[in-house]
A and B are shown apart, each in its own frame.
Chain A
Amino acid sequence: MTEATPAPAPARTRHAALVWMTSQSPIVVTVLALVLGFFVGALIIITTTPAVLDAWRGLFHSWGAPGDALKVTFDNVGAAYRSMFTGSVFDPAQLWHSMTTGKGFDASLTPISETLTYATPLIIISTGVGIAFQTGLFNIGANGQAVLGGIAGGVAGSMLHMPMILHLPVTLIAGIAGGMVCGVIPGVLKAFTGAHEVIVTIMLNYVIYAFLLFAVLSTAFQQPGQSNDISRTMAPSAQLPPLFGAASGLRVSYGIFVALAVVLFAWWFLDRSSIGFDFRVTGANPSAAKASGISSRTVIVLVFLISGGLAGLAGIVQAASTTHYIDGGFLIGNAGIGFTAITIALLGRNRPMGILLSSLLFAALGVGGRTMQAATGIPLDLATVIQSIVVLFVATPVLVKEIFHLRAAKTEVLQLATQGWGS
């Protein structure tokens, strides 16, 4: 939190806190955007759930009807959001049960384990995308880079044989290298020919998808004895093992530590290293960066190496911690984390800490949405709607400011967050 108040007298602190809560600070705007997202989600539940609509239709039939209608509305909206919470964080009743009886901890920890499992690759890939954004560059090809990283890591993990202490690092490094190979192409093209990175990265995605099908159908990499598009299974020595052991049934793996290491690295890199400083200066003001002797070519190529490498790492972490194989649908379609990463980086304002929190939020909405659909029948897509609305409001702070009558921020923050999006 950059808004650390300079320790005034107790009476003034309360006032200062109130001022901060009604200001346009990015944290306030994000939280309010979240509130708006859930509010719109509730409206959608109300207008699309037959039971709720029926209750409101009966409004004029009896004196008790308005009360009933309200109750039905609250029941349905509440059930949806309640199952979203219990499915992604924890179920209080279940947790209490396991704490008092000492049994069933698997079931009570499953929701948070699933959220962390989903968040792991998101954190890594969004950090990479965020670093590129901070430099004023758009990496729309993170998905293809992650797929290539997954293929490279999958090959290393399934076709090489060595002890785990070597095999796991080799697999992860192969993943990073795969992502870098795919990332450096748009970087070099941009740096030396001026080709726009958006076009090149987005088109490379399709090349990589085609390559993925080729790879998983080629005899060397395809699962022996299968004729469909599925790769060999990675050796146990190349897999990121579950944190609490395979017997626990909890899927959260050591990959979460890889993700945390990436966040730490990104924070150090951007805030403490001199190359990171060059990156940020280039992003903030390319001409000033040039004038002060920063080579924009080097920066562009380096940014794409790092961003692509992190995307590749995300791809192999995803494969090594969950499925342990790559198939023709790997990270394609709705599972395309490289595109989710763009919104997460925006929501997290391209800062490592912000990206960590937004990834957890997106993962929780996705995982909780599944439980919501299973429990209440409200489609999982509602979670996507809420995600999109939150991002929409974060991207247009003016709307949030108008809706909640926030006062203008004293500091620079909002400008900084959206910089690079118009260049």
Chain B
Amino acid sequence: MRNIRRLGTVLGAASLVLGTLTVSVAATTVSASAATKFKACVVTDTGGINDKSFNASAWAGAEAAAKQDKNIDPSYLSSTSSADYSPNIKTFEGEGCGIIVTVGFLMDPATLAGANADAKQKFAIVDDAPVGLKHDNVLALQYETDQAGFLGGMLAAGKSVTGTVATYGGEDFSSVTLYMNGFVAGVRYYDKTYNAKVKVLGWTPAKGACSLATCNGKGTFVGNFTDQTAGKTITTGDFSDGADIVFPVAGSVGLGSVAAAQQAGAGHSIMWVDSNGCVSDATDCKWFVGTVAKGVEPSVEAAVLAAAKGTFKGGSYVGTLANSGTLLEYGGIKVPSKLKSEIATAKAGIIAGTISVNPNKYPVG
């Protein structure tokens, strides 16, 4: 018995020595490799990197940058709740990240605090522009999604057989309502220009124009970005009110709308949002008339590449139709070429500034 125990002691001592060795070996290798690589770090919101929506797009942007520039080492941290925002940012600061990408306007205060505390730490924040920055170290990535939403509205109006289309939002944020506002403008523009009488349910714009920061009006909202059952209920309601195309601006809630369209059968379709539905959710492609996309991935990629090259500049990037920071992608439903060319004309008009995306400029159809 005593021998066995002695053996145990020896084994224990050996594992201790081995452990120490491991740690010291690792210590040298880690510091050696960390010095040469440029770290691109993404802090996601609670959706995580697999949300098929903008957290996923931001992470895809960092990975795409790493593919182009082998010296970039991307990593991410998911937030399990809003209490994680600042510790996650702080952890990345401690890791010596060359740029920290924060996703979503809910991370505004944490990003602002992190940026003001360290002038040398570069940040990029998606869908938000922090106010009160002390240094020039934050790039605000924002997207004028009402421009692409306008084209989506035209597409929906042109494709609608029943003469009614609908939209709804996840929550009443300007980054959501901007899409809906542009969508309504597109429908009204189509009605006026092509003598149609298509109605829109789910969003009534307030007087005045929208900006990136504020976009007011009255509309239908789920109250979150996760409740697919609520999305299905709202969409089924829209269908029974006569709509045949629904535009959910609510991330994964939109999958509930797809389910509603499947249940309602042919003749009902969905306008997807953020990232091309026929790519992120390919199995449901035949239900998508199109996608009003937001260029989160390319803009994050560009920001990371610039930071790695040393050409990063703080300030703001605004995605528009002109720089493909927001765009309309066609889906799995056939669109007549006449309608496509009408949309292309309107796109050129918006880029040139001759067509307004303010719905109040057009009569209610």
CB contacts under 8 Å to B, within A70-115, are: 71, 74-75, 77-79, 81-83, 85, 87, 93, 107, 110-111, 114
A227 touching B82 in the complex, CB below 8 Å, given contacts A83-B30, A370-B77: no
With A and B bound together, what is the CA distance between A44 and B18 in angstroms?
A: 18
**Residue from A74, A93, A329, A371 within 8 A of B46 (CB atoms):** A329
Asked if B172 contacts A334 (CB within 8 A), the reply is no
Asked if A322 contacts B83 (CB within 8 A), the reply is yes
Give chain A residues whose Cβ lies under 8 Å from the Cβ of B91: 87, 370-371, 374
Give chain B residues whose Cβ lies under 8 Å from the Cβ of A75: 22, 25-26, 29
Asked if B30 contacts A79 (CB within 8 A), the reply is yes
With A and B bound together, what is the CA distance between A404 and B8 in angstroms?
A: 8
Give chain A residues whose Cβ lies under 8 Å from the Cβ of B284: none
CB contacts under 8 Å to B, within A35-80, are: 71, 74-75, 77-79
Give chain A residues whose Cβ lies under 8 Å from the Cβ of B80: 333-335
With A and B bound together, what is the CA distance between A251 and B117 in angstroms?
A: 14
A333 touching B25 in the complex, CB below 8 Å, given contacts A374-B91, A374-B95: no
Q: Is B266 an interface residue (CB 8 A)?
A: no
Residue of B nearest to A92 (CB): B27
Give chain B residues whose Cβ lies under 8 Å from the Cβ of A334: 80-81
Give chain A residues whose Cβ lies under 8 Å from the Cβ of B92: 374
With A and B bound together, what is the CA distance between A82 and B26 in angstroms?
A: 8
Give chain B residues whose Cβ lies under 8 Å from the Cβ of A114: 87, 90
CB contacts under 8 Å to A, within B61-88, are: 75, 77-78, 80-84, 86-88
Give chain B residues whose Cβ lies under 8 Å from the Cβ of A380: 77-78
Q: Is B5 an interface residue (CB 8 A)?
A: yes
Q: Is B4 an interface residue (CB 8 A)?
A: yes
Asked if B117 contacts A249 (CB within 8 A), the reply is yes
Asked if A329 contacts B26 (CB within 8 A), the reply is no
A227 touching B173 in the complex, CB below 8 Å, given contacts A75-B29, A79-B30: yes
Asked if A78 contacts B26 (CB within 8 A), the reply is yes
* Most chain B CB atoms below 10 A, which of A251, A327, A332, A335: A335
Q: Is A297 an interface residue (CB 8 A)?
A: no
Give chain A residues whose Cβ lies under 8 Å from the Cβ of B23: 78, 81-82, 85
Give chain A residues whose Cβ lies under 8 Å from the Cβ of B22: 74-75, 77-78, 81
CB contacts under 8 Å to B, within A320-349, are: 322-323, 327, 329-335
**Residue from A78, A327, A371 within 8 A of B25 (CB atoms):** A78
Asked if A228 contacts B171 (CB within 8 A), the reply is yes
Q: Is A196 an interface residue (CB 8 A)?
A: no
With A and B bound together, what is the CA distance between A114 and B272 in angstroms?
A: 41
Give chain B residues whose Cβ lies under 8 Å from the Cβ of A371: 91, 94-95
**Residue from A71, A78, A329, A405 within 8 A of B82 (CB atoms):** A329
* Minimal beta-carbon separation of A41 from chain B (angstroms): 13
Q: Is A296 an interface residue (CB 8 A)?
A: no
Q: Is A418 an interface residue (CB 8 A)?
A: no
Q: Is A419 an interface residue (CB 8 A)?
A: no
With A and B bound together, what is the CA distance between A357 and B301 in angstroms?
A: 44
With A and B bound together, what is the CA distance between A58 and B225 in angstroms?
A: 46
* Minimal beta-carbon separation of A175 from chain B (angstroms): 16
* Minimal beta-carbon separation of A104 from chain B (angstroms): 11
With A and B bound together, what is the CA distance between A332 and B21 in angstroms?
A: 41
Q: Is B17 an interface residue (CB 8 A)?
A: no
* Most chain B CB atoms below 10 A, which of A93, A249, A332: A249
With A and B bound together, what is the CA distance between A77 and B19 in angstroms?
A: 10
Give chain A residues whose Cβ lies under 8 Å from the Cβ of B88: 370
* Minimal beta-carbon separation of B348 from chain A (angstroms): 35
**Residue from B18, B30, B41, B81 within 8 A of A329 (CB atoms):** B81
Asked if B81 contacts A333 (CB within 8 A), the reply is yes
Give chain B residues whose Cβ lies under 8 Å from the Cβ of A370: 77, 87-88, 91
Residue of B nearest to A118 (CB): B87
Asked if B25 contacts A74 (CB within 8 A), the reply is yes
With A and B bound together, what is the CA distance between A377 and B49 in angstroms?
A: 14
Give chain A residues whose Cβ lies under 8 Å from the Cβ of B171: 227-228
Q: Is B355 an interface residue (CB 8 A)?
A: no
Q: Is B106 an interface residue (CB 8 A)?
A: yes
Give chain B residues whose Cβ lies under 8 Å from the Cβ of A74: 18, 21-22, 25-26
* Minimal beta-carbon separation of B77 from chain A (angstroms): 6
Q: Is A237 an interface residue (CB 8 A)?
A: no
Residue of B nearest to A319 (CB): B83
5 tightest CB-CB pairs across the interface, nearest first?
A78-B26, A78-B22, A334-B80, A74-B22, A335-B81
Residues of A participating in the B interface, judged by any CB pair closer than 8 Å: 22, 71, 74-75, 77-79, 81-83, 85, 87, 93, 107, 110-111, 114, 227-228, 230, 249, 251, 318, 322-323, 327, 329-335, 367, 370-371, 373-375, 377, 380, 404-405
List 7 extra interface pairs beyond A74-B25, A335-B84, CB under 8 A.
Answer: A22-B5, A227-B171, A227-B172, A227-B173, A335-B81, A371-B95, A377-B75
